[in-house]
Amino acid sequence: MDIRENGFEILESFISQHEIQSIKAEVKEFSETYPKYGIRGANNKFQSIQKLCSSEKLTKIAESFLMGKANLVRVIFFDKTAEHNWLVTWHQDKTICVNRKADIENWKAWSIKDGKHHVQPPIDVLNKMVAFRVHLDDCDEDNGCLKVIPSSHQLGVLTQSEIDSITKNQPAFSCVVKAGDALVMRPHLLHSSSKSVNPSNRRVVHIEFSSFQLPCNLAWA
């Protein structure tokens, strides 16, 4: 699968076992207190994740997909377990996080989440973004691997009725990966995940980059 045509691809053995264990060990110390559905700004909380996010290897690959300078814009650590086991319905990731609200044509659905401004920008912004889901555990259909609709990122921003129709009529692809693999995708690719039926840790470092120059002196937050 190629990201340019299909909207996603899997990079096998993207990080080493040493890197995996380093991140797992550091996050484990924080496991009793981190939020149920994930840790936002994980690069600012864990040195091992910051090291991964700032690595030359990751940055160069991001820039090759974006065909421009890759700015780190969002990092979230997820861990789906027996205790924290959730379903994610079919959707697109179509909002970004910025430092303030601004009156810009076609920038809509402004909201505040976790004390930060979120907005749905035009499709041109989303087309200049790429997400890396770096897996710390093996992940298959039994423990909630991501499912995607190949090439759906080419359809633009979709309404809920359009999403329902597409996911009903087009086959989904299950992104089965091994620990250390990275699933790379366009954020607005249609994706979902089921609850784990055989719950075990499904730890993922979700890292987003963008090459888009924000208008009106906005900054990524």
Over its length of 221 residues, how does the chain's per-residue pLDDT go in tens digits?
789 999 999 999 999 999 999 999 999 888 777 776 789 999 999 999 999 999 999 999 999 999 999 999 999 999 876 567 678 999 999 999 999 999 999 999 999 988 899 999 999 999 999 999 999 999 998 888 999 999 999 999 999 999 999 999 999 999 999 999 999 999 999 999 988 777 678 899 999 999 999 999 999 99
pTM as predicted: 0.94
Domains in the chain: boundaries: 3-91+129-210
User: Are the CB atoms for 154 and 127 separated by under 8 Å?
Assistant: no
Type of residue at 183:
L
The whole-angstrom separation of Cα 30 and Cα 157 is 36
Tokens representing 58?
């990751």
CATH of 3-91+129-210, one of 2.60.120.620, 1.10.150.120, 2.60.40.650, 1.10.10.10: 2.60.120.620
User: Are the CB atoms for 199 and 81 separated by under 8 Å?
Assistant: yes
Token pair 């065909």: residue: 67
